[in-house]
Chain A
Amino acid sequence: MLCQECGERPATLHFTKIVNGEKTEFHICESCAREKGETIPGTSGGFSIHSLLSGLLDITPGSKGPSTVKSTETLQCKECGMTYAQFSKVGRFGCSSCYKYFNDRLDPLFKRVHGNTTHMGKIPVRAGTHIQAKRRIDDLRQELQQRIIDEEFEAAAELRDQIRELEKGIPSE
C-alpha cells in the first residue's frame, strides 16, 4: 500500500480509529510521518488528525444536489471570515463564532469524532449558574425515574421536592 501523503513510498504506519463502531483507517510512510511531526490520529495539534478530519468534514449532510454544494461554498463565519471549505481543509476553527455559523454542519462531525454532540462536563462559574442548576435537575430527574422503577417512593418524593426547589431559582424561558 502506498502512503496517503506522498503517494510514492510504501505506507509503513497504519492507524485504525474506532469511535462508536465507526472505523477509519489511515496509512502513511515513516518519512512523511516524521516530516509532519505528530502522526497518530486523536492527538491534539497533530497534522494527520486534521487531514483525517477534513475527510470527515467533506461529507455534506442531506442530498448532494447542486444547492447543497453552493451553500458549502458560501457558508462563512462572519466574525473571522473563515469559510466552511477552508475549515474542511485545515480542520481547525478560526474563532469561537465559527461554531455558531457552522452549527448546522457540526452534529455529524462531532458524532463521528466523539460519538456525542452535547457537552456534559464543567461549566464556567460566571457564565453558568443557571446551566449548572438545569444540569443538576436533569440528573435528579433521572434518579427520580430510577427510584420510581425500584418502588422507593419515599426517596422519590424527596427528589421531587429537591427538583421543585431548584426550579424556583431558574427564570422561565
Chain B
Amino acid sequence: MSNVRFTEQPLSEWMRNRGYESDIVISSRVRIARNLQHLAFPMLATNSQSEEVLAKLQDVLQDERLHQFGQMHTLLLDELDELDKEVLVEKHLISPNLANESRSGAVLISEDESLSIMINEEDHLRIQCLYPGFHVQDAWEKATAVDDIFESHVDFAFDDKRGYLTSCPTNVGTGLRASVMMHLPALVLSQQINRILSAVTQVGLTVRGIYGEGSEAMGNLFQISNQITLGQSEVEIIDNLHGVVLQIIEHEKSARQKLISESRLRMTDRVMRSFGILSNASIMDAKEAAQRLSDVRLGVDLGLIDHLSAPALNELNVLTQPGFLQKTFNEHMERGERDMYRAKLIREKLGK
C-alpha cells in the first residue's frame, strides 16, 4: 500500500527543502477550521451524521483543481493501528484529537505531505498547510485556495456577524490558526526569552512547546501562533504574526552574533560537548536529546560544525519521538527502554 510511507518515513518531503530564514524558523503552519451546514459538530454528531460528513468531504477529492497540490491519499483513522496514529501525530500530519477521539475520522494527505486535510476532528473539516522555514503567507494562500475548492462543493456553517462557526469559541470567525516553529537558543541562553515571549502574548499571539505539552519548550523550540480569530481579517492575522516573528528573528540573530563574538570558546565548547555526548551516550531521555540537538543545531548554524545539515537534524527530532523509535526498531518499548534505543539511534545517525 502506497500510504505506508506516511508512517514509515520520519521526514515529510516538504521538510527536505530549506525555506526562508530556516536557521531560525523551522516550519510554518496554517490551519483553517470549517463545518458543514445543518449537521451537528463532531462532538454531538450521530454516527450516521459523521459518516455523511466524511462522504461529502471525500467527494470533493474528485475535483481536479486539487491535483495542483499533488496526488491526495486518504487514510481512515479506523484502519490505522495505535502506533501509526502516534507517528502521524509526531509528524504533525494529524492532531492528537483526530487520533484519539474522532468517529469516522479521516485525513487526506498530499504526496509531499505539505497539505493535510482532517475530517471529523473537533470540527468537520480542518485544512492544514505546512511549509519549511518562514512561509506563513504562502501557507495561508495555499490553505485558502483549498478552502475555496471545498466551498464550491459544500455549504459551510457561516453567520454574517460571527463568521465561520466552529465547535470551540476560540476558533470562531476566521477559523484560522497560523503558527511558526522557532528555534531560539541564543535568546534562551542570554535570558531574554521570557521578556520577549511575554511581549508576544500582549499582541494577541500565544506561545507553546513543540507538541503542545507543558509550557516548557523542549530543545529551545517555540511555537508562536495567533490567539484571536474573531474581529481581524485573515490578512491582518497573518501580517501581525509575520511582523512579530520578523522582530523575534532579528533579536535571535543579534543574540547569536553577540554569543559568537563575545564567547566563541565557550560556545564551541558547549556545542562540541553536546555533540560528543550525543555521539557516545548509551542512555538518552527525550528532554536531554532535545536540548543537545538544539546545541548541535546552533553549532551548525554558527558554522562551528560543518559536516551536519539542518534537514538531518529535523529528521533526528522526529525520529527520536516515542512513536517513531518503536516504529524504527519494530518493537514495543517501555519508557526506560526507549532512552536506550534513542541513544543508539542518535549514535548511528551522527556517526555516519
Is A128 a contact partner of B231 (Cβ separation < 8 A)? no
Instruction: Give the docked Cα–Cα distance between A13 and B212 (Å).
Output: 13
**116-139 of chain A: CB within 8 A of chain B:** 116-128, 131
| B158 touches which of A38, A42, A123 (Cβ 8 Å) | A123
Is A124 a contact partner of B40 (Cβ separation < 8 A)? no
> Which chain A positions have C-beta within 8 A of B176?
121
Is A114 a contact partner of B212 (Cβ separation < 8 A)? no
| B169 touches which of A38, A40, A41, A109 (Cβ 8 Å) | A109
- Cβ-based interface call for A69 (8 A): no
Instruction: Give the docked Cα–Cα distance between A119 and B122 (Å).
Output: 21
Instruction: Give the docked Cα–Cα distance between A92 and B41 (Å).
Output: 9
- Cβ-based interface call for B19 (8 A): no
Instruction: Give the docked Cα–Cα distance between A39 and B162 (Å).
Output: 26
- Cβ-based interface call for B93 (8 A): no
Is B231 a contact partner of A115 (Cβ separation < 8 A)? yes
* Most A CB within 10 A of own CB, among B95, B147, B172: B172
- Cβ-based interface call for A2 (8 A): no
| B161 touches which of A80, A109, A119, A126 (Cβ 8 Å) | A119
Q: Considering only CB atoms, which chain B residue lies closest to A131 in the complex?
A: B160
Q: In the complex, how many residues of chain A place their beta carbon closer than 8 angstroms to a beta carbon of chain B? A: 55
Is A117 a contact partner of B201 (Cβ separation < 8 A)? no
Instruction: Give the docked Cα–Cα distance between A79 and B37 (Å).
Output: 12
Is B44 a contact partner of A13 (Cβ separation < 8 A)? no
**Stretch binding the partner chain, chosen from A46-54, A144-152, A163-171:** A46-54
Proximity bits, B214-239, A CB within 8 Å = 1, else 0:
11000000000101111111101100
Is A92 a contact partner of B151 (Cβ separation < 8 A)? no
Proximity bits, B179-217, A CB within 8 Å = 1, else 0:
000000000000000000010011010111100111100
